[in-house]
Structure 1
Amino acid sequence: MSLADSRGRQEGHSRGRPRSEAVERSIIEGAMKLLEDGVPLGEVSIERVARTAGVGKATIYRRWRGKEELFVDVLRAAEPPEPELPGTSMRDDLVVLLESLRQRGLINRSSAILHNVFAQMKSSPKIWTEYHETVIEPRRRIVFEVLRRGQRNGELRDDVDIELLNDIFVGPMLLRSIMRPDADLPEDLAERIVDTVLEGLRPTAP
């Protein structure tokens, strides 16, 4: 994922000289190095990131308004890219979306960065809020649209609560990948979850 693409939402806040993606990458990597070394999130200051990246604090503030925005981009850079949906059916799209969560779960377990940050992020409300608004909510909207399309196409009953159904699909994968880090994440888990839930939600024939 391009750092420039991931941060297009902040273009209006930039000041001074034009952005350099190489400089941004060095800042992101500097923050990652601190987290990989086990430095607690609360102790990773802009000044410390600047020293590690070999840049001045002003260089960081020209690109991010503060620590919260910077660390959301650190998390985004550490994650796999968003999946491309096949669009062949609601079921196929849901399997791809859940598989991406399974892959993130595997990465979270092996990544010192994500393990460190996610373990502490709830104690940093600003970072959690920024992450929720810019990462989690867009993913939820994608699932909502897939489910609504399924209703329009006759793949899903019209009377189903879309937001509740999203939680029913996503919940088991999040439980296994985040809440139970010792739980098994088999390769067919996404398909099993989707097929089990959809079994009782398809419209019945007249």
Structure 2
Amino acid sequence: MGGQYRITGDKYPRMRRPRRRGRLVFLGAASVAALGLVGWGTVQLIDVFTGSGGHASTVGTKAGCAAGPSPSPSARPLPEPRGITVNVLNATTRGGLAKKTADELRKRGFRIGDVGNASKEYDKKVKGTGVLLGPAAALDTSLPVLATQLPGAERRTDAARKGAAVDLIIGDGFKALTTKADADRALTALTEPKPAATPKKGC
């Protein structure tokens, strides 16, 4: 055909291809966005219903409402006084201190081992209130419990020492054990864990 219906040149292909390519790109981008939204929504629903996921818990925590750290349990459980054997040794020139102190510790529930004078290593050489001496394993177990009875005493360990018994070596600065009421309070604070921190009201 000729005349006004005749088509010349390559306008038709160049006009159609850009339109088709643009449509495909748009459809592809829309599909990727839709899949991303579906996936994100699924993850959020799982977090909501299972309560898991660090992201959900972080988003739900308001500023200033973070819960405090939970108390960590002791590496070793602390023994009770009746499970601790104490040797009471006098390193001073004052007579009768070892027996008197041992009797008071017995009343407070401790087991009493040897009672007498300190060895030459400590005799008349302890200037403070006293020394609490035990095996290495007692540093975080028996010695802290015994220290509630004489807070100012120095704590020492001997790696070569055998047995579980500990020594209370009375020094020149010793006057008496701490009062039973104070010792009981210190022992309670030592053995009972502190309550976990709770979030602020309104969090």
- TM class by smaller structure: under 0.3
Which has a greater percent of helix? Answer: 1
Which has a greater percent of strand? Answer: 2
**Larger of the two Rg values belongs to structure:** 2
Normalising by structure 1, we get a TM-score of: 0.24
